[in-house]
Amino acid sequence: MPDGLLNGIKVIEFGQNLAGPYCGQILAFLGAEVLKVERPGGDDARRWGSPFAGKDDSAPAVAFVSLNRGKQSTVIDLREEDQRLELVELAGTADIFVHNLRVDVPAQFGFDAASLLDRFPQLIYANLGAFGHNGPWREKPGYEPIIQVMAGLMSINGDPAAPPARVGVSYRSSTFRRACGR
């Protein structure tokens, strides 16, 4: 990646699907060094259907490649204590830690905001939860189809005689928050 405003900034991105990788992509485009952490088996977006970035279905999907270009990558298995500790140590070497994991995962494995910021007060901790950090839905999981249902988008898309249909283009959660007055 070319030099940019964030040149010299190190980011650990434990993201999957869209929100985390998209955030990491923007930071990388701005010049940050981004290390993408994946679970064993990889980010679900690797298998997001065709077109694939190769001749067969074993190659990563183009969406995955486009969201993760310009990043380094590593695998961490949260079931392994030594690898959980490695993730915490990696966070300590970074300026920014970004994730969009289920709300219970970081605390369960020791890399929630309170734990990391207590140990590394200079760290910027970015939790990209679907429903924000306050309010009654803050602990609910979020995923693109859930957001589309909650916002009512699926009820106005597709054939009127058919069940609600998913909107093909992914929307950012800020769009949902504005639509729902959050």
pLDDT in tens, 89-134: 999 999 999 998 888 889 999 999 999 999 999 999 999 888 877 7
Distances (CA, A) of 86 to 37, 90, 91, 93: 11, 6, 9, 11
* 101 and 49, same domain (yes or no): yes
Spatial CB neighbours of 121, under 8 Å, sequence gap ≥ 6: none
Residue 133 located in a structural domain = no
For residues 89 and 148, membership in a common domain is answered with no
Q: Is 27 in the same domain as 113?
A: yes
User: What pTM was estimated for this model as a whole?
Assistant: 0.80
Question: How many structural domains are present in the chain?
Answer: 2
Expressed as residue numbers, the domain containing 151 is 144-179
Question: DSSP 3-state assignment of 72?
Answer: strand
Q: Does residue 37 fall inside a structural domain?
A: yes
